């Protein structure tokens, strides 16, 4: 009987503390990291042979540290990959791997491309999407994890 009364006291005390906000539930104590992604292009129209450089930046809006981040760009069919570099991690084609970003910190990947040499008419205007592929921390706002630009291939084809 004494064990049951002790357990009841602990349960009531814990419930009371949760209701007053003295102790938060475990899930609320976990820090989250809201990552936001932006993408720009140095030009939105390009001729065959010209380069298009994309700058993709991921920013940790906090409050916690983001870890295990993969972000970047899987290029659409009308573009050829030329090169990429990441300022805070390793670049793999159009993706960047960053170990961690503290709240307020950003990382940027630059992706250089060229239009394909003989695009079909349907491939001359297209959208190019950048995204956050993965992160090991919890992101409470996935709505800001993508960004895109619309591009046009202009002029004569080869």
pTM beyond cutoff 0.75: yes
Is 54 in the same domain as 116? yes
Is 16 in the same domain as 37? no
- Tens of pLDDT, residue by residue, the chain (158 residues): 544 444 445 444 455 455 665 444 434 445 799 999 999 999 999 999 999 999 999 999 999 999 999 999 989 999 999 999 999 999 999 999 999 999 999 999 999 999 999 999 999 999 999 999 999 999 999 999 999 999 999 988 66
Q: Structural domain tally of the chain?
A: 2
Is 80 in the same domain as 132? yes
Whether 135 contacts 70, CB under 8 Å? yes
> What's the rounded Cα separation, in Å, for the pair 75 and 44?
15
Is 25 in the same domain as 62? no
> What's the rounded Cα separation, in Å, for the pair 98 and 30?
21
Whether 99 contacts 89, CB under 8 Å? yes
- Comparing CA positions, the residue from 156, 117, 140, 147 lying closest to residue 41 is 147
Pairing status of strand 79-86 against strand 146-154? unpaired
Domain that holds residue 6: 1-29
Is 5 in the same domain as 43? no
Is 25 in the same domain as 35? no
- Return all residues near 44 (Cβ < 8 A) that are at least 6 apart: 149, 150, 151, 152
């Amino acid at each position: 009987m004494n064990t049951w009364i002790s357990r009841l006291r602990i349960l009531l005390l814990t419930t009371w503390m949760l209701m007053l906000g003295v102790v938060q539930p475990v899930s609320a104590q976990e820090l989250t990291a809201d990552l936001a992604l932006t993408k720009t292009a140095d030009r939105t129209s390009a001729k065959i042979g010209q380069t298009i450089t994309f700058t993709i930046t991921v920013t940790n809006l906090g409050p916690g540290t983001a870890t295990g981040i993969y972000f970047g760009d899987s290029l659409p069919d009308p573009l050829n990959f030329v090169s990429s570099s990441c300022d805070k991690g390793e670049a793999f084609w159009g993706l960047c791997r960053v170990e961690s970003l503290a709240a307020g910190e950003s990382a940027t990947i630059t992706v250089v491309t060229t239009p394909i040499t003989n695009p079909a008419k349907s491939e001359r205007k297209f959208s190019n999407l950048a995204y956050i592929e993965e992160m090991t921390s919890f992101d409470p706002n996935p709505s800001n994890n993508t960004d895109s630009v619309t591009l046009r291939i202009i002029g004569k084809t080869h």
